[in-house]
Structure 1
Amino acid sequence: MIKKNLFKVILINLLIFFIIISSIIIFPPFILDGYKSLKNNILSNVSKTVDTRAKLINYKNYDWAEKHFDELNKLSTKYYDYIGWRRNEFKGQTININEMGYRKNSKKNNTINPVKNEAWFFGGSAIWGTGSPDDKTIPAIFEEFSDLTSTNFGESGYTTQQNLNLLIKNYIIGGKPKVVFFYDGVNDISYKCRKELDFFSSGRERYIRDQLEKSNLSKLVGPTKDLFKILLNKFNLKNNNFYDCDTNPKKSNLIVENFIMNWEIAKNIVESNGGIFYPILQPMGYIGEPNVSHLKLNSNSGTGSQINQFLFMYDKIQNKLREKNLNYIDLTKIFNNNEYYYIDFVHVSPDGNKKIAKSIFEKIKIEN
């Protein structure tokens, strides 16, 4: 009888142990996969307003906005050494990406080798064209103004270091552009100023490192951690002050030095190959006096906040550019009026892209 009761207790304890282990390790992957499936498939079919930017006043005269943001959410990326990532080939109504990961300007130049074009544009998602169809990105509109065939080398999250590496790659494979534009500022600050990253980091350095360093145990509990992060984000329980450029002078100085050195190296490469280099300090919603009354931008401007990083670092970059006497196109205040251009703190709608492309074209037309 005693043995039977002992066996029963052991079985019950083993069952409890299995339930606990399952709740920590086995169940979270299924819950996480179910959540992702629900988010990507079912919810996207139930509602077409997942991305609220499509409903902004900026798009009141555009019937393609919802389709654009729907396609944007379907894009995937592939890893590449030295440049980090590129989006995979995609064919849509508002977004088309070729097999090399470069966004097309329009259907009329789909067959042109992008490396052979006369004007090259490098930058992050603002140059890539988040919020605009293929023919209304900055490179596409510039092509119409200038009659220079243009290539959009932009990619979401790219810093000046990634732009420089991609520039070198495309010269090596035979490119000979007449003009090259680097459109930078936001990503070098928004990523490198994060506490866990340094002056030479890309936006995904920490993620890639974590994946490579995962032990067998961490791989098992990984889905549990991911699920916990989702819950933190949903209930806004995380600390939003995870930047340190405004309190770490050594790091902020290195970021500025790296930023400007990348521009200088790119300039030397372009000019040594017979081209003209134009670095551009990009606009963003926290700089100058743009109309952002239609947006719900983060208003926290204290120490360690995202806003404070941009205000602090843009000032340092501009001071250093003046000190080095490096010519650049300053577009930081291009939207200082009452028009609705921004769709978030950095991306603009097609009217904004047109204003930027026109300003760039007029600048180089005067100089040439």
Structure 2
Amino acid sequence: MKNKLKFILIISRNLLIIFLLLEIFLGVYYSYHDESGVDENTERIYATGVYDGVELETVKEIFRELRLQDMEWESYLHYRFKPMYAKHNTIYENGLRKTENPSLKNSDNALKIFCFGGSTMYSAGSRDAHTIPSELSKLIHTNFPDKNVEVTNFGCHGYTRATENIQLQQELIKNNIPDIVIFYDGVNEIISAHQNNEAGTPTNAYNRKNEFKVAHNYKKRIKLMLRSSYLCRLVITIQRKLKHNTIHARLDDRPDSLAVDIANIFLGYVKISKSLEKSYNFKVFNFLQPVVYSKKNLTEAEQGYFRDQQYYENLYDLSYSIIRKDALMKTDSTFLDISTVFDTSEKTIYTDFCHTGEYGNQLVADRIFKEIEPALTQTKFIENQE
């Protein structure tokens, strides 16, 4: 019995040593792989011409900074950005990205425009001065040079409309009342539903579920440690390559009923924001955002993005279609489907299936400005500037 126990202990010890050595080796490898991979991927993106007029080294700096971004816990939102003061990506202490505001004279009595969305509103892959909110702010300044306007970028990677509604409510509770609220959504509603196989859940909600009460459960600790190990990453990578012959994850097809749920839940959150609009006397604009599936003339690079993540397409097509046909959306002048905003462009707009380069941000900002311009000329706007 003693010999058997001793044998088990020796085997366990040796397995643990092998595991630790593999973790160290794979940790060094993946650290180098990930760091070098950022520049390699950036070079591929740059070669598509999406950053025409911007130097390659500048674009590399932008994406290196994106890799260095980190999150911290935020109640109700799950997470928010940690402060970051980099060359091209500035995130303040409140977790919000810097927006160029050439019209801002006095924040106390400025007309406030809140911009909500995910990483596309944050404008991942763009410099601070060329995000969608910054481009919008510059357009407002060009057309209303004497006005006092402050545009705020609330965009954060992975945020869905549900999270954005909570963000807005938190600002209202603090008596930070906007004049105009812009929601730019569609992408993360589908991604989160696809990940969790359930509509209306936060992005990466399954990770939060796995982490819940881990401090009080050794079994969960061990599972979490194994799931987050480099060895587990290696195994998953090998599985994907063997099964799909690609590094991209291919999740199972989702039923049409999931798209119906996505649309209905999204519309529910739109209605909630409309009720807040009436209570707090601001104007809400809901923009259904473009994705590579909705662009009419795809370049060669964009066709590649389309193929790589085509498994999202059916959810986008069906959920977008249901949203467009909804009675409220058809009669609501502040609901605007701008998914075709790039249809006349022959250039490469996207850096992947949903994120756009700085030129794409300009086109989106231009379209948003045209839609909100009438609200900027209303009496309330004029009075707020005096």
State the TM-score bracket (shorter-chain normalisation): 0.7 to 0.9
- Whether the aligned pair in 1 keeps the contact of 2:101 and 2:134 (CA below 8 Å) is no
- Whether the aligned pair in 1 keeps the contact of 2:200 and 2:262 (CA below 8 Å) is yes
Q: In the superposition, relative to structure 1, how do residues 323 and 126 fare at CA in structure 2: closer, same or farther (>3 Å)?
A: closer
Quote how far apart the aligned CAs of 1:226 are: 3.6
C-alpha distance in structure 1 between counterparts of 2:12 and 2:269, whole Å: 56
Corresponding residue of 2:80 = 86
- Whether the aligned pair in 2 keeps the contact of 1:284 and 1:345 (CA below 8 Å) is yes
- Whether the aligned pair in 1 keeps the contact of 2:115 and 2:152 (CA below 8 Å) is yes
- Whether the aligned pair in 2 keeps the contact of 1:124 and 1:157 (CA below 8 Å) is yes
C-alpha distance in structure 2 between counterparts of 1:256 and 1:351, whole Å: 29
- Whether the aligned pair in 2 keeps the contact of 1:139 and 1:152 (CA below 8 Å) is yes
Q: TM-score, normalised by structure 2?
A: 0.80
Corresponding residue of 2:332 = 326
SS of residue in 2 equivalent to 1:353: helix
Within-5 A mapping of 1:254-293:
254-293=261-300
Of 250, 263, 267 in structure 2, the residue corresponding to residue 240 of structure 1 is 250
C-alpha distance in structure 1 between counterparts of 2:180 and 2:320, whole Å: 25
Q: Higher mean Cα deviation, 162-171 or 141-150?
A: 141-150
Letter of the structure 1 residue corresponding to residue 347 of structure 2 = E
Of 58, 62, 69 in structure 1, the residue corresponding to residue 54 of structure 2 is 62
Matched, 1:352 2:357: no
C-alpha distance in structure 1 between counterparts of 2:29 and 2:21, whole Å: 12
- Whether the aligned pair in 2 keeps the contact of 1:300 and 1:307 (CA below 8 Å) is no
C-alpha distance in structure 1 between counterparts of 2:260 and 2:307, whole Å: 26
1:252-291 C-alpha deviation (Å, 9 max, x unpaired): 3332121011111112213321211100000111014043
C-alpha distance in structure 1 between counterparts of 2:96 and 2:199, whole Å: 26
Q: Higher mean Cα deviation, 163-172 or 317-326?
A: 317-326
Q: Higher mean Cα deviation, 230-239 or 123-132?
A: 230-239
Quote how far apart the aligned CAs of 1:201 are: 0.8
C-alpha distance in structure 2 between counterparts of 1:109 and 1:130, whole Å: 24
Corresponding residue of 2:223 = 218
C-alpha distance in structure 2 between counterparts of 1:112 and 1:68, whole Å: 30
C-alpha distance in structure 2 between counterparts of 1:207 and 1:133, whole Å: 30
Matched, 1:297 2:305: yes
C-alpha distance in structure 1 between counterparts of 2:51 and 2:140, whole Å: 26
Letter of the structure 2 residue corresponding to residue 279 of structure 1 = N
Quote how far apart the aligned CAs of 1:27 are: 3.7
SS of residue in 1 equivalent to 2:181: strand
Matched, 1:133 2:127: yes
Q: In the superposition, relative to structure 1, how do residues 19 and 96 fare at CA in structure 2: closer, same or farther (>3 Å)?
A: same
Of 91, 96, 99 in structure 1, the residue corresponding to residue 90 of structure 2 is 96
Q: In the superposition, relative to structure 1, how do residues 19 and 343 fare at CA in structure 2: closer, same or farther (>3 Å)?
A: same
Q: In the superposition, relative to structure 1, how do residues 342 and 86 fare at CA in structure 2: closer, same or farther (>3 Å)?
A: same
Quote how far apart the aligned CAs of 1:56 are: 2.9
Structure 2 unmatched ranges of 5 or more:
142-148, 378-386
Within-5 A mapping of 1:190-201:
190-194=191-195, 196-201=196-201
Quote how far apart the aligned CAs of 1:176 are: 1.9
Q: Higher mean Cα deviation, 204-213 or 230-239?
A: 230-239
Q: In the superposition, relative to structure 1, how do residues 13 and 139 fare at CA in structure 2: closer, same or farther (>3 Å)?
A: closer
Q: In the superposition, relative to structure 1, how do residues 114 and 85 fare at CA in structure 2: closer, same or farther (>3 Å)?
A: farther
Corresponding residue of 1:48 = 39
Quote how far apart the aligned CAs of 1:40 are: 5.5
Letter of the structure 2 residue corresponding to residue 53 of structure 1 = I
1:67-106 C-alpha deviation (Å, 9 max, x unpaired): 1111111111112121122111111111100011100013
Normalized per residue, the structure richer in helix is 2
Q: Higher mean Cα deviation, 305-314 or 94-103?
A: 305-314
C-alpha distance in structure 2 between counterparts of 1:11 and 1:112, whole Å: 75
C-alpha distance in structure 2 between counterparts of 1:332 and 1:90, whole Å: 31
1:129-175 C-alpha deviation (Å, 9 max, x unpaired): 11210011111111111133100000111110000000001111121
Corresponding residue of 1:19 = 14
Within-5 A mapping of 1:166-181:
166-181=167-182
Letter of the structure 1 residue corresponding to residue 206 of structure 2 = R
Query: What RMSD in Å do the two structures reach over aligned CA positions?
Result: 3.2
Q: Higher mean Cα deviation, 114-123 or 339-348?
A: 114-123
Letter of the structure 2 residue corresponding to residue 71 of structure 1 = E
Letter of the structure 2 residue corresponding to residue 123 of structure 1 = G
Quote how far apart the aligned CAs of 1:364 are: 1.9
Structure 1 unmatched ranges of 5 or more:
1-5
